[in-house]
Amino acid sequence: MKTTLRTRKLEELNWMEFRRLVPKKADAVLVPVGTIEAHGVTGLGTDNQIPSSIAERIAEPVKALIAPTIHYGITRTLLPYPGSLTVPPEIFERYVAEVAASLAVAGFRRIVFLNGHGGNTEALKNVSSRLYRDKQVYSMVIDWWSLCDEEVRQVYGHTGGHAGTDETALVQVDHPEQVHSREYKKKLAFLAQPGLAAVPFPGSIILYKQGEGYPDFDPAKAEQLMTAVCAKVAATVLDVFARWSRIR
């Protein structure tokens, strides 16, 4: 598949183009999945926007197509914040499983769920573990924030938190107009503490370590993080693909 491909977005290909590509020239697909949830001073769609940004940057290097984003996921502790939305776990899981099964029937042999939201992880892993049994396709789930913990640390000296350092940075790259740094106040952030579970959680920015994870609005660092994250995700996907190719 040459780099001159007009688009890698499945939605923008017509069926005759698709027929020429899948599965002969492209049998992998990236599926961005997120949710609608309060995120400090970034948009409610933060968890959809970040995996979409990553997908657009890595599709070419990993030679995959990009499926449309699944926007509505499983929101829990921040659900009572204005604008947060949720879908019950079992409905979300069945909906995603059916989308994935349909991608398999359409000819894809490798499915990469690019997940933008921690609340979805368990459900996506369940989907993934049943996909091979049902449809004989290989699949993986990537939680970029966990996978790229080290990359965040290298750019910022510490890790991220929900709607904190790393998420704010990645939104800022493609959607700078949505990062309202003037609305930001330190008190939006709350430190997660063992032994405390609260719904709504007492801050729309969640820190995981005392004094670490506050957003940083420096655009240069944000770009640097995006580059590092995409490099790490792409390298990981390619490594898994290579190892998968040795199984059969």
Number of Cβ atoms within 10 Å of the Cβ of 101:
17
Closest CA to 156 of 201, 217, 98: 217
Closer Cβ to a second copy, 3 or 14, answer by number: 14
Closer Cβ to a second copy, 60 or 102, answer by number: 102
Distance in Å, CB of 246 to a second copy, minimum: 8
Q: How is 82-101 classified by DSSP, letter by letter?
A: TT-----HHHHHHHHHHHHH
Tell me how far the alpha carbon of residue 191 is from its chain's centroid. 23
Give 79's Cβ-side CA count (13 Å radius).
Answer: 13
Q: Provide CB contacts within 8 A for 90, sequence distance 6+.
A: none
Distance in Å, CB of 105 to a second copy, minimum: 6
Closer Cβ to a second copy, 41 or 62, answer by number: 41
Distance in Å, CB of 77 to a second copy, minimum: 7
Distance in Å, CB of 219 to a second copy, minimum: 18
Strands 189-191, 205-207: parallel, antiparallel or unpaired by DSSP? parallel
Closer Cβ to a second copy, 175 or 221, answer by number: 175
Stated as kind and residue range, the H or E segment containing 170 is helix 165-174
Closer Cβ to a second copy, 70 or 156, answer by number: 70
Distance in Å, CB of 19 to a second copy, minimum: 4
Distance in Å, CB of 108 to a second copy, minimum: 10
CA distances from 203 to 98, 104, 134, 199, 221 (A): 35, 40, 41, 10, 25
Closer Cβ to a second copy, 60 or 132, answer by number: 132
Report the alpha-carbon angle 118-123-125, nearest 5: 90
